Amino acid sequence: MTAPTVKLSSGYEMPLVGFGLWKVNNDTCADQVYEAIKAGYRLFDGACDYGNEVEAGQGVARAIKDGLVKREELFIVSKLWNSFHDGDRVEPICRKQLADWGVDYFDLYIVHFPISLKYVDPSVRYPPSWTNEAGELELGNATIQETWTAMESLVDLKLARSIGVSNFSAQLLMDLLRYARVRPSTLQIEHHPYLTQTRLVDFAQKEGIAVTAYSSFGPLSFMELNLKDAQNTPPLFEHDVIKGLAQKYSRTPAQVLLRWATQRKIAVIPKSNNPTRLAQNLQVTDFDLEGSELEAISALDKGLRFNDPIAYGLPIPIF
């Protein structure tokens, strides 16, 4: 099966369920993308920071060559890293990323974080990092308006069909909307029952900005990063509320969590290298939770954020 879509402000349709490429190993990435396409996935969420765009593109190319899919049937997402926020750096890095993917345009290109870092040439370090070649964090001088104006030029040049942002607050969205010639089509945020961000989601959706959730399974994505909060937080898969609903609907806990989001028109980008779970994660729009059940899941909110620069020892309190 393939996922239903949500219409973006740009006029394009974005699948409600996609495959996230964060932490997908280089040696398995091409095969995982190929198998995901075979399973019915059409949206692939990448970033230059993930360091696997070449391999992801290889998986796409093989699937197209084998006749599994046409390019226009795919929705390929990538992101602008912090060290390329200067206006004259945006187009060159986007073109490099397109070349890595082996495609002519991105369906969606996103500002990864609302923060500018000093430019580091890709020939010096790539994939990029939070720090420079000396291992130091150096802030850049680009404003969000400068960066967004350059992002808009990507649409004019047909290098990106839609543009969006990630990890932005409501206040930053309000500011961006004041001067945006091309409105952001999407907002990608950490979103799970332990971090519902209800006010931010409501504001974005009211403004016609589609919301995409990352880390839909909460602490699970961060266990291997040795984050204390992740290790000390009860797994969502084992929570009584989630387990009870999974049993009621004969679904997996993962499917319940993904349906909680998609039923509220929030797109999701889970990943799995297990063929069974891969298929299950895509089958999350063919049943409905009751309103009281959606509320019960949302009531698990702890305001607990895992993907925070501060947690990685970086003095950037952007949240």
Residue 130 has a pLDDT of 95
- Just give the CATH number of 5-232+255-304: 3.20.20.100
Q: How far apart are CA 155 and CA 284, in angstroms?
A: 32
Structure tokens at 40: 């019915």
Q: How far apart are CA 121 and CA 148, in angstroms?
A: 20
| Spans of all domains in the chain | 5-232+255-304
Residue 234 has a pLDDT of 87
Tell me the mean pLDDT in the region 292-317.
94
Band of pLDDT at residue 46, cut at 50, 70 and 90? very high
Asked if 296 and 95 count as a contact pair (C-beta separation under 8 A), the reply is no
Residue 140 has a pLDDT of 97
Residue 226 has a pLDDT of 66
Annotated binding-site ranges: 112
Residue 311 has pLDDT above 90, yes or no: no
Residue 214 has a pLDDT of 97
Residue 219 has a pLDDT of 86
Residue 134 has pLDDT above 90, yes or no: no
Residue 183 has pLDDT above 80, yes or no: yes
Residue 233 has a pLDDT of 85
Q: How far apart are CA 130 and CA 2, in angstroms?
A: 36
Phi-psi region of 43 (alpha: psi -120 to 50; beta: other; left: phi over 0): beta
Residue 221 has pLDDT above 90, yes or no: no
Burial class (CB in 10 A: 0-12, 13-18, 19+), 193: buried
Q: Which residue has the higher pLDDT, 18 or 225?
A: 18
Pairing of strands 13-15, 5-7: antiparallel
Percentage with pLDDT > 70 across the chain: 99
Structure tokens at 72: 């226009």
Annotated binding-site ranges for substrate: 112
Tell me the mean pLDDT in the region 8-19.
98
Q: Which residue has the higher pLDDT, 229 or 241?
A: 241
Residue 154 has a pLDDT of 99
Tell me the mean pLDDT in the region 286-290.
97
To the query of whether residue 50 is one of the catalytic residues in this protein, the response is yes
Which member of 12, 34, 41, 50 is catalytic? 50
What DSSP designation does 110 have?
E
Tell me the mean pLDDT in the region 64-71.
98
Tell me the mean pLDDT in the region 246-274.
96
Between the alpha carbon of residue 309 and those of residues 110, 218, 232, 313, 315, the distances in Å are 18, 16, 19, 7, 7
Band of pLDDT at residue 220, cut at 50, 70 and 90? confident
